[in-house]
Amino acid sequence: MSSSIISGKELAKKTRLELKDSVTEFTSSTDITPHLTVILVGDNPASLSYIKGKQKGCKEVGISSDLIHLQEDTTEEKLLSIIEQLNNNKKVHGILVQLPLPTHIDEDQVINKISTLKDVDGFHPKNVGKMMIGQKTLLPCTPAGIIKLIKEAGEEISGKHAVIVGRSNIVGKPVAQLLLQENATVTICHSRTKDLKMMTKQADILVAAVGKANYITADMIKDGAVVIDVGVNRLENNKLCGDVEFNSAADVAKAITPVPGGVGPMTITMLLVNTLEAAKMIHN
C-alpha cells in the first residue's frame, strides 16, 4: 500500500488563515489585540528555536507577543512573582513558560501558578482535570493538533483502535484522553509494555511519542493504519527525524505524518488558537 502524506504544514497554513480572520474580527469588535507572553529561563538552543516559531506564528495571525528572557540562575521565587504580575495584567491573555526549566526550579509549582484562564499550554492541573471529564477548556496543543490532523485528513476516529506509544503528560496521556472522547478504543504503551509489536500491530491509529529516532518500524504497523509521528529527533548529521521509520512505514500505512512538516506546525497553530480563546474568555 502506498500511503498518503498528512501534511501538518498545509493544514497549519489553512488554519492560520482562518484564525487570522477570527483575530481581526475579535480585535475590531472589542478593540483588544490578543497577547501572548512567553517566558524563557536560560539559553537552551532548542527552546530558543521553538520560541522563534511561536513568535513568528503570532505575528502571522495578528496576535501580539513578547518574550521575557531570564537568566539561567533566576530563582523560583522571582519567576513565580513575574507570573503573578502577568496573571494580573489585563493586556496579557496567554502565558507560556517554555520547558524544560533549570533543575533548581520546580516545574509543577510554576505551572500551578499560571492563571487557568491564561494557561495556553493547557498544562495546569485544573485544566487537565476539566479535559479529563470532557468540560470545555484550553486543551494541550500537541494533542489537540493531532486530533485536528486526523479529522482533517478525513480519517474516522470513532470505533477505531488507537494505540499510543509514550505516556508523557504533554502528549501520551492527553492524546489518549482526546481520542477516547472521540470514541476510539485506546491503548497506551510505554517502556514497560511487554510485547510492543503485538500491541502496535493492532492499531488502526498509531501515535508514536517516544522520543527515539526511527523506533517504530514497518513490521510493527498494521496494513492500512493511520500513523501519527510526534517525535522530533536530531540525527548525528543534524537532520530531523521522527519516531517512525518513515520510508518503510509509508509502504504499509494508509496515511502518515512526516517529520518535519507533520505534527510540529500544528502544535504551534493550536497555541495561537488557544491564545485567541483565552482573550475571548477573559473579555467575556
Q: Which is nearer to ligand GUN, 252 or 266 (CB)?
A: 266
Q: Minimum Å distance from CB 111 to ligand GUN?
A: 9
Helix 125-132 vs helix 172-181: angle between axes, to the nearest 10 degrees? 30
* Residue 42 labelled as part of a binding site: no
Q: Minimum Å distance from CB 71 to ligand GUN?
A: 18
Q: Which of 119, 121, 204, 229 is catalytic?
A: 121
**Of 179, 15, 38, 158, nearest in space to 95 by CA:** 38
- In this structure, what DSSP letter does residue 97 have? E
Footprint of ligand GUN (CB under 6 A): 96-99, 121, 141, 170
Q: Does residue 66 carry a catalytic annotation? A: no
Going by their DSSP bridges, the two strands 255-256 and 4-5 should be labelled as parallel
Whether the CB-CB separation of 161 and 188 falls below 8 Å is answered with no
Buried/exposed code over 176-206 (b: 16+ C-beta within 10 A; e: otherwise): bbbbeebebebbbbeeebeebeebbbebbbb
Dig out the grid coordinates for 14 from the structure.
Answer: 489553512
* Residue 167 labelled as part of a binding site: yes
* Residue 129 labelled as part of a binding site: no
Q: Which is nearer to ligand GUN, 11 or 232 (CB)?
A: 232
Q: Does residue 173 carry a catalytic annotation? A: no
Residues with Cβ within 8 Å of residue 214, at least 6 apart in sequence = 241, 242, 243, 244, 245
* Residue 192 labelled as part of a binding site: no
Q: Minimum Å distance from CB 184 to ligand GUN?
A: 23
Q: Does residue 106 carry a catalytic annotation? A: no
What are the backbone dihedrals phi and psi of residue 111, each rounded to the nearest 5 degrees, phi first? -65, -40
Q: Minimum Å distance from CB 181 to ligand GUN?
A: 20
Q: Which of 55, 98, 148, 160 is catalytic?
A: 98
Q: Which is nearer to ligand GUN, 70 or 218 (CB)?
A: 70
Just list the catalytic residues.
54, 98, 121
Binding-site members are 166-168, 232
Binding-site members for NADP(+) are 166-168, 232
